[in-house]
Amino acid sequence: MRIEKPRGTRDFLPDEMEKRRNIEGIMRRIVESFGYREVSTPTFEHLELFTIKSGDEIIEEIYAFKDKSGRDLALRPELTAPVMRLFVNECFVMPKPLRFYYFANCFRYERPQKGRYREFWQFGVELIGSDTPESDAEVIILAYRIMEELSIDFSLHIGHVGLLRKVLHGVDEKERAMRFIDKKEWRELENFLERKGKGELFEKIMELSSSRSIEEAISVYPDFDYSHISKVLGILDSLGIDFKLDFGIARGLDYYTGMVFEIYGRGLGAQNQICGGGSYSLTGIFGKEDVPATGFAIGFDRVAEICNVDQEKTRKVVVIGFGDYSKATKVADVLRREGIPSVVDVMGRSVKKQLSFANSINADYAVFVGEEFKKGLVTVKNLNTGNQREIRFEELSSYIINGEI
């Protein structure tokens, strides 16, 4: 009986895992260079962690279940709420700001399509305890540098949900309006605002979302303090960060408070959002005073789809013992300890078959361990060039590491 994997999930073969680990490594290196440190939270949480403030879209998508004791649990659909739970429970009094990052799988009951899965990975950061323009700018710069380093063709859009909320002030169910804006469902937004007797706001929102400068936004809607977002943009300008002002960004999650940003990648089709973030406050849901934070989540799978990182290849060796398994393993053992991946035949195959197997796994060298081994000699064959020579066993690993022969 063939058992399929669940809908919306994926298997990853070694080539793909190698690529993903490589990308992950680059992301880790960059966030760590900014002083962020990794945290990890449970795969499942109490359902209410996500229902309190995660927004309707995500709640509908939650994989929720009861455990055997009847507790309401959920597979995490995202990591900001779990990381803030961790912060409130374990790190509330630590010196601020805290700089955390995570890389983990998330689960959403969505309609699977290209770039949209039921299990997917997010790589994200949270900068906790500061609400200055400098901290907002830092988080944006970090996301930007990651995309740059991965040679992704992307565009960065920055907005402010505080402004949208101010414009929508007094509209009841305004989070629904925010959702329409997030999804760029302009007709639905217009109808919604008409129904609420606030049809005039539609024009304002359209004009704001097409404003390409703070000055333009001020002329459309003067009744807002633009100084924070101006300062953020000023910092980015000073670093040569390329962005588009976009007051049409609403974000799907309800907890954002101020600056918000999204990054879109080219080459992905409809699901082109590869990163979303902004400033928010979530500590209130845990009954604590407000602690401001800024963060982002990168859609790791979408990034992996469009980025081609140079794979650093470690040279791989096949050790052939002419039927003497223990001699071959002894040699492989030494090479492995030097950090050289080495494979020994475990199926009692002929030399010819071992060589063709070496080919099939893209090995770079074959090391023949024969009679001469008694005199401390082995024969190395470069499988890419065909060159072959006898060398002293002690020299073997340095030959391979240097790519000689």
Residue 119 vs 395, nearer CB to ligand ATP = 119
> Which of 172-180, 228-236, 271-279, 340-348 is the region at the interface with ligand ATP (rule: CB under 6 A)?
271-279
Instruction: With CB under 6 A as the rule, give the number of residues binding ligand ATP.
Output: 18
Which residue, chain included where needed, has tokens 């680059």?
26
x-or-dash pattern for ligand ATP, window 77-96, by CB under 6 A?
A: -x------------------
Which 113-132 residues touch ligand ATP, going by CB under 6 A? 115-117, 120, 122
Taking the alpha carbons at both ends of the chain, their separation in whole angstroms is: 49
φ, ψ of residue 300 in degrees (nearest 5): -60, -40
108 binds ligand ATP (CB under 6 A): yes
Buried b / exposed e over 67-82, threshold 16 CB at 10 Å, is eeeeeebbbbbbbbbb
Partners of residue 65 on adjacent β-strands: 73
Among 22, 132, 273, 388, binds ligand ATP (CB under 6 A): 273
Which of 104, 108, 102 is closest to 75 using CA atoms?
Answer: 108
Closest chain position to ligand ATP (CB): 299
- Beta-carbon count within 10 A of 352 CB: 8
Q: Minimum Å distance from CB 160 to ligand ATP?
A: 17
Q: How far is Cα 344 from Cα 355, in angstroms, rounded to an integer?
A: 11
Residue range at the interface with ligand ATP (CB under 6 A); choices 27-35, 207-215, 269-277, 395-403: 269-277
Which residue in the set 252, 278, 292, 321 belongs to the binding site for ligand ATP (CB under 6 A)?
Answer: 252
The answer to whether 105 contacts ligand ATP (rule: CB under 6 A) is no
Interface with ligand ATP includes 299 (CB under 6 A)? yes
Return the residue of 301, 345, 373, 397 that touches ligand ATP, per CB under 6 A.
301
Contact pick of 24, 110, 175, 216 for ligand ATP (by CB under 6 A): 110
Tell me whether residue 191 or residue 271 sits nearer to ligand ATP (CB atom).
Answer: 271
User: Which segment (26-34, 110-118, 322-330, 385-393) binds ligand ATP by CB under 6 A?
Assistant: 110-118
Question: Radius of gyration of the chain from Cα atoms?
Answer: 27
- Interacting stretch for ligand ATP, rule CB under 6 A, among 13-21, 166-174, 221-229, 274-282? 274-282
C-beta of 138 vs 301, nearer to ligand ATP? 301
**Is 155 near ligand ATP (CB under 6 A)?**
no
Asked whether position 271 contacts ligand ATP by CB under 6 A, the answer is yes
Stretch 39-78: interaction string toward ligand ATP, x if CB under 6 A: ---------------------------------------x
Integer Cα distance of 177 and 169 in angstroms: 11
Q: Which residues are at the interface with ligand ATP (CB under 6 A)? A: 78, 108, 110, 115-117, 120, 122, 252, 271, 273-276, 297, 299, 301-302
